[in-house]
């Protein structure tokens, strides 16, 4: 410490301290990392997410921290606005001196922060945004993504959809990067498995501003045999209510991305549709030793069952800490090198980050919706490994910009 103080004093006398990156000067007794997410705009997901990474931070610090230091997360709210996300990312890096960034939920915000990370040469672990662009068409050296992509989850659902005795499909998805990628991926995957399918209608409501009546009427008029739904949150609730009232789902198969996640399933209450094929998270019904230990710790800490966001938050910080330990440093280049083929032992099972496209192989649960004892529930589920549904690393590398 005396040598470090002497060095800094000497450099200050030479006017050199101001030239050092803030994040190198700020790393003292703790390792600071910056979290950005849409806390006020999307509390149903982001509040459990924050509880998840908080639990992980407490677990890690109780075991001695990372590289002999305690982890400290500086968390900021982007309010659901990309420009706000960029401003606070700049503050986290330049003023707070964080070693890395993680988080974001909406795909447009994730893409904005990813571009910031590229421009400022800072490591960004995109926890949640699902657009395929963040790892492929707009992928960059500094960004890795945790959650299974729209391509991955859509491919899981397409595998189940191909087993249905239907060929005429309609789609409904929010009109931004996540929705567009999800529909494109589902179409490609389903046509590959079942070439005779056709898509007779597409509906693109603005995110969080769905006109459910108009959307349902347009879908009904097309007379599809099945529907692929990508709406979530309040849009999903409005779509389910209006579709049920108008009989849209009667004798019609529905395949629905994310609807099995408690954040979106639980608010449906007794309006929960029966038999939709979904990706989601069956919570405390998962009986692996790793997950049971996580669920117990989460319930003991927060007094509630974990949700999808809880797992994403926990796994995000766990992955960041694992990368730092492997790198032996919080230097950006060292952490990036450590991320390639980084294996993480998590409550959801072990996964790794692919070197070719910076996507983790974290999987998802596929099952059906049902009312059980008057409550919405995901039943008949199975865990699907993300590695089984991603394109090969050789194929994925071709989807990224030339370096």
pLDDT digits (tens, 9 = 90+) for 341-359: 999 999 999 999 999 999 9
Report the mean per-residue pLDDT for the chain.
93
pLDDT value at residue 29: 87
- Domains in the chain, ordered, with CATH? 2-148+287-362 (3.40.50.2300), 151-282+364-388 (3.40.50.2300)
- At residue 159's C-alpha, the angle toward residues 154 and 160, to 5°, is 100
Q: 337-368 burial, b for 16+ CB within 10 Å, e for fewer? A: ebbeebebebbbbebbbbebbbbbbbbbbbbb
Whether 56 and 49 have beta carbons less than 8 Å apart is answered as: no
> Could you tell me the strand order of the sheet in which 168-172 lies?
198-203, 168-172, 226-229, 253-260, 277-280, 364-372, 375-384
Residue listed under structure tokens 């960059």? 140
Give residue-wise pLDDT tens across range 291-304.
Answer: 999 999 999 999 99
Q: Rounded to two decimals, what is the model's pTM?
A: 0.90
Give residue-wise pLDDT tens across range 142-196.
Answer: 999 999 999 999 999 999 999 999 999 999 999 999 999 999 999 999 999 999 9
Average pLDDT over residues 23-45: 83
pLDDT value at residue 403: 62
Give residue-wise pLDDT tens across range 301-320.
Answer: 999 999 999 999 999 999 99
- Residue 42 clears pLDDT 80, i.e. is over it: yes
pLDDT value at residue 28: 62
Give residue-wise pLDDT tens across range 205-263.
Answer: 999 999 999 999 999 999 999 999 999 999 999 999 999 999 999 999 999 999 999 99
pLDDT value at residue 4: 37
- Residue 18 clears pLDDT 80, i.e. is over it: no
Q: Return the closest-CA partner of residue 204 out of 173, 180, 232.
A: 173
């Amino acid at each position: 410490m005396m040598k470090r103080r002497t060095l800094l004093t000497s450099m200050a006398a030479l006017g050199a301290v101001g030239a050092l990156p803030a994040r190198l000067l700020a790393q003292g007794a703790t390792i600071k990392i910056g979290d950005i997410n849409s806390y006020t705009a999307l509390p149903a997901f982001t509040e459990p997410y924050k509880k998840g990474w908080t639990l992980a931070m407490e677990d890690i610090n109780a075991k001695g921290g990372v590289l002999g230091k305690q982890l400290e997360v500086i968390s900021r709210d982007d309010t659901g606005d990309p420009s706000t996300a960029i401003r606070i990312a700049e503050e986290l890096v330049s003023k707070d001196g964080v070693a890395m960034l993680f988080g974001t939920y909406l795909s447009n915000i994730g893409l904005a922060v990813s571009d910031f990370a590229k421009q400022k040469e800072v490591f960004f672990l995109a926890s949640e945004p699902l657009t395929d662009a963040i790892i492929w068409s707009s992928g960059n050296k500094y960004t890795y993504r945790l959650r299974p992509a729209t391509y991955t989850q859509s491919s899981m659902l397409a595998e189940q959809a191909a087993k249905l005795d239907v060929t005429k499909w309609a789609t409904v998805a929010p009109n931004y990067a996540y929705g567009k990628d999800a529909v494109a991926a589902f179409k490609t995957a389903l046509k590959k498995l079942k070439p005779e399918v056709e898509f007779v209608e597409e509906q693109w409501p603005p995110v969080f501003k769905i006109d459910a009546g108009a959307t349902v009427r347009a879908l009904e008029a097309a007379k599809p045999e099945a529907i692929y739904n990508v709406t979530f949150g309040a849009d999903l609730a409005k779509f389910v209510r209006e579709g049920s009232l108008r009989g849209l789902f009667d004798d019609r198969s529905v395949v629905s991305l994310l609807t099995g996640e408690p954040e979106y399933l639980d608010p449906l209450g007794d309006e929960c549709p029966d038999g939709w094929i979904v990706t989601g998270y069956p919570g405390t019904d998962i009986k692996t030793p790793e997950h049971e230990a996580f669920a117990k710790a989460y319930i003991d800490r927060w007094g509630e069952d974990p949700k999808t966001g809880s797992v994403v938050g926990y796994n995000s910080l766990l992955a960041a800490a694992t990368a730092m330990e492997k790198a032996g440093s919080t230097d950006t280049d060292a952490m990036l090198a450590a991320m390639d083929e980084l294996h993480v032992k998590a409550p959801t099972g072990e996964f790794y980050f692919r070197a070719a496209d910076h996507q983790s192989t974290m999987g998802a649960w596929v099952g059906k919706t049902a009312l059980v004892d008057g409550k919405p529930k995901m039943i008949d589920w199975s865990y699907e490994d993300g590695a089984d549904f991603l394109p090969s690393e050789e194929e994925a590398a071709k989807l990224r910009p030339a370096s």
